[in-house]
Every structure is written in C-alpha cells, then in structure tokens.
Amino acid sequence: MTAAELGVPAPHKRRAWATAKSLAVELPWIWVFLAVVAMWAGIVAVSGRGLLGTMTAAIALAPFLVIVGIGQMFVITSGNGNIDLSVQYTMPLAGFVGISVMSGGSGRAALGALAAIGVGTAVAAANLFCILVLAIPPIVATLSVGLMAYSASSLQAQSFSALPDPGLHAFTVSSVGGVSWLAIACVGLALVAGGALHRMTYGRALQAVGQNRRAASLAGLPVTRVIIISYVVCGVLAAISGLLLATYVSPSVSIGQPYLLNSIAVVVLGGSLVSGGRSNVVGVWGGALFLLLLTTLLNVMNIAVATQDIVKGALIILVLALVGTDQGS
C-alpha cells in the first residue's frame, strides 16, 4: 500500500499543512487579517471606491473600538467567566462627565480627562465590589452596575448643554498623511498593552490566572490583585474611549450601544480565548478593522441596519463555532 492509499498526505503536503496549522496556533490573528483583506476587496469591488480611501475611513473609526476592545480583553483573559458588560454604559457617562468638566473654562482639558478616568475607575470599583465581595457572577454584576451607570448618564443628559472641548475635538479629527493621530496613538496603546501582557510580570500572572486560577493561586500569584487591575484597566479604557467618542461625535446616552457586542467580538475574532488565559493585542486591531469594513460593505450593499444586526450576530456565533472546541464553557 502506498502512503496515499493509507490516507497519509504526501510529505510536502503534510509539511505545508503542518506549517499552516502551527501558523494558525502561533498567529491566531492571521485569519482576521485575511478576512479584513477580503472585506476590503469586497468594498472596492462593490462600490468602486478607492483602496486607500476605504481603509483610511476604517482606520479613523477603529481607535474607539480598539481602546474598549483592549480593556475587554484584559478582563476576558482573567478567565473564570470574567467579562465586562458595563462598558457600553461607562462610555456615555465618562463622555458626559468629562465634557462638562472641560467646559468649565479653557485649559481644563486635563482635568476633564482625569474626571472621565475617575468615572471609569468608579464603575470598575463597583463591578469589583459586586464580584469579589458579594460573589455575584461577573455577567450579572457588570450588567447591574452598568444599568446604574446608565441611570446616571440619563440624569446628566436631561439638562446637558456643554460643548466638547475644541482642542480635544481638533485632536480627534486631526490626521497626518491620511492616518488619524488617534489611530497612531492607538497603535502605541496596543504596543504598551502587548508589552504589559507578554513581557511584564503582571501580564504573565494575568494569563496564568486565566488558564488555571487554582494553580496560579497555589503558585503564589496575587490572583485577586490581578483581577482588580484587569477590571480597572477595562473601566479606564472604556472611559477614555467614551470621552474621545463623545468629543468626536457629540455626547448622548446611546453612544456606547454598539460597543457591548463589538468589544467582545473584536476579542473573540482576534484570536484571544473567550475562556481566558490567552490574549492577542494585534488581533484586536484586526477584529476592529474587520467589523468596521464589514459595516461599510453592508452599507455600500444597501443592507438595512436591522439586517446588519442579524449578520453580525450570526457571524460571531459562526466564528465561535469554528474555533470553539478547546475553550471551556
């Protein structure tokens, strides 16, 4: 019998397959970038828009999602069902508070940014109190805290007249060579986050906690502290993104709405494990570009927003179904 009859692939084929397989394991974000290229080509083919214009438009909007997505990734990486469903409500609250502090006078931009960060920290503290002290599962804890933050935003919105800080607004729309400054800053953020996750003790501890909390605790890692830091990072990044987005468009209670599903989607699409323990910063960028280009493609194909919801929901389930097996429930 030959190797082919036994169902064994020919040597060179097997090597190619093994290379592809190890590539997929080592670089799980490669698929999402292939999908980005496919979307990009699709948009250009359907609409006849320029290659560069399509991509720069997506890159200009990606930072808001990348910032929240990186925060969400920190929380999801800590494993054990940790997830932050309050980001969508932290964003508008931070936007309202930050902008109203900034409008108090000129030169108060830094103070406003600090206020927004304070909002993010406060939401994270409330989440952590519910999760660590009251032992409420993270899904329900963050959803409940999020609703309280939503009430706070609604109260702010009732008599809100402050205008975004002109200086900060100029920054959110400024660009160099077609690439927005915000996107460049966001690449920097991704590098810092990647360094923190893969090179620093904290990041290593976070991955260990996500892989096996009990083993990490027995090994002497400060499990509680690691979890606290991940929620605070997530809350603060959501707040910063909310402030920037509210300055970029205009403050409203619903600016965070798409970011609940999208922030989780970019983490999942980018090759991080939903069950925690493995994170991928590059993948978050890829996931964000993919989602934005997908929206653009659906828009140029004249597909209604309602149908876009169906497509996105189905897509996330499909991706999970394809990569699911090695993830715990």
Partner 1 sequence: MIVPAPRERLRHRRLHELDDWRQTTSDALPAFALVGMLVCTLVLVPGARSVSGLELLLSSAIPLVIASLSQMFVIVLGDIDLGTGYLVGLANVISARFLESSPEVAVGLLILVVLAYMAAGALIHLRKIPSIIVTLGASFIWLGWALVIFPIPGGDSPGWLSSLMSWEPSFVPAAVVFALVIAAVGYLITNRTAYGTVMRGAGSNRLAVTRYGWSMLRVRVVCYGLAAVFGIIAGLALTGITSSGDPNASANYTLLAIASVILGGGEFAGGRALPVGTVMGAFSISLVGQLLVFFNVSSAYQAGAQGMILVAVLAGRALLRIGVR
Does residue 161 touch partner 1 according to CB under 8 A? no
Nearer to partner 1, 188 or 313 (CB): 313
* Residue 180, Ramachandran bin (φ over 0: left; ψ between -120 and 50: alpha; else beta): beta
Closest CA to 75 of 33, 15, 138, 125: 138
Does residue 316 touch partner 1 according to CB under 8 A? yes
Does residue 159 touch partner 1 according to CB under 8 A? no
Q: Which stretch binds partner 1 (CB under 8 A): 31-39, 51-59, 104-112, 315-323?
A: 315-323
**Letter string b/e over residues 275-307, b meaning 16 or more CB atoms within 10 A of that residue's CB:** bbbbbbbbbbbbbbbbbbbbbbbbebeeeeeee
Ordered alpha helix ranges (H), 103-137: 109-128
Nearer to partner 1, 239 or 298 (CB): 298
Q: Which stretch binds partner 1 (CB under 8 A): 192-200, 208-216, 236-244, 305-313?
A: 305-313
Site mask, partner 1, residues 93-132, x = CB under 8 A?
-------------------------------------x--
Q: Smallest distance, Å, CB 124 to partner 1? A: 15
> Which secondary structure element, helix H or strand E, spans residue 85, and what is its range?
none
The pair phi, psi for residue 35, each rounded to 5°, is -65, -35
Q: Are the CB atoms for 85 and 142 separated by under 8 Å?
A: yes
Q: Smallest distance, Å, CB 151 to partner 1? A: 3
The pair phi, psi for residue 175, each rounded to 5°, is -150, 160
Q: Which stretch binds partner 1 (CB under 8 A): 53-61, 151-159, 192-200, 227-235?
A: 151-159
Sign of CA dihedral 98, 101, 104, 110: negative
Does residue 73 touch partner 1 according to CB under 8 A? no
**Letter string b/e over residues 88-107, b meaning 16 or more CB atoms within 10 A of that residue's CB:** bbbbbbbbbbbbbbbeeeee
* Binder of partner 1 out of 148, 170, 173, 218 (CB under 8 A): 148
- Which single residue is written with the structure tokens 């400060």? 222
* Binder of partner 1 out of 20, 34, 37, 140 (CB under 8 A): 140
Site mask, partner 1, residues 269-288, x = CB under 8 A?
-----xx-------------
* Binder of partner 1 out of 124, 141, 237, 289 (CB under 8 A): 141
Q: Which stretch binds partner 1 (CB under 8 A): 39-47, 155-163, 198-206, 226-234?
A: 155-163
For residues 239 and 245, what is the distance between their CA atoms, to the nearest angstrom? 10
**CA dist list (Å): 261 to 5, 23, 65:** 47, 28, 11
Q: Which stretch binds partner 1 (CB under 8 A): 33-41, 153-161, 210-218, 220-228?
A: 153-161
Q: Judged by CB under 8 A, how many residues of this single chain contact partner 1?
A: 51
Binding site for partner 1 (CB under 8 A): 81, 83, 130, 134-137, 139-141, 143-152, 154-155, 157-158, 260-261, 264, 268, 274-275, 304-314, 316-317, 320-321, 324-329
